[in-house]
Amino acid sequence: MQPARPDDFHDGDREALEGKLRSALETLSQIRVSVENHELADEGVLEQRVDRLVRGYADMFAIKDRLNVNIPEDVLSYVRDGRNPDEFTSQFMERVASENQFTNGKIAALTNFKQEFEAQLQEFFPEELKERKKEA
C-alpha cells in the first residue's frame, strides 16, 4: 500500500473524520463508565450514548468514500498486535537513518576512490588523459 498523500483528501473531510473519531472515543469512554456503574436509572443514558455512537459510526462510514487514505500493512499489523503505531514510525525512522548513513559512507568511499583513481591516471597516463579531456 502507498502512504497517504496530502492531496488525496480534503482537509475538511479529514478534520471531520478526526472529530468523529474523537467523539466516538469519548462516547465509548462514557459507555464504559455507564456499564461499570450499571444502575437501572442510567439505562436511558446508556441507550442515548449507544445511539450517539452508532450515529457517529454511520457518519464516519459516509465520510470514508470521500477519503483516499492508504495505510501501510506494517502499521496495520502493529495495531492488530496491540502495539502503538508510533513505535513503527520510530523504528522506521531509525532504520532509514541507519541506511542513509550507510549510503553516505558508500558515496564518500566512491568519491575518494574516484579522486585517487584520477590522480593515479594523471601520474601514469598523463598524455592519454589529456587526449580524453579534449574529446569530452
Per-residue pLDDT tens over the stretch 81-96:
999 989 999 999 999 9
Tell me the pLDDT tens digit for each residue of 11-67. 678 888 889 999 999 999 988 888 887 766 577 888 899 999 999 999 999 888 888
CA distance 121 to 119: 5
- What's the whole-model pTM score? 0.49
Instruction: Return the C-alpha cell found at 97.
Output: 537513518
- Say what the pLDDT of residue 8 is: 47
pLDDT band at 4 (very low <50, low <70, confident <90, very high): very low
Buried b (16+ CB within 10 A) or exposed e, 67-92: eeeeeeeebeebeeeeeeeeebeeee
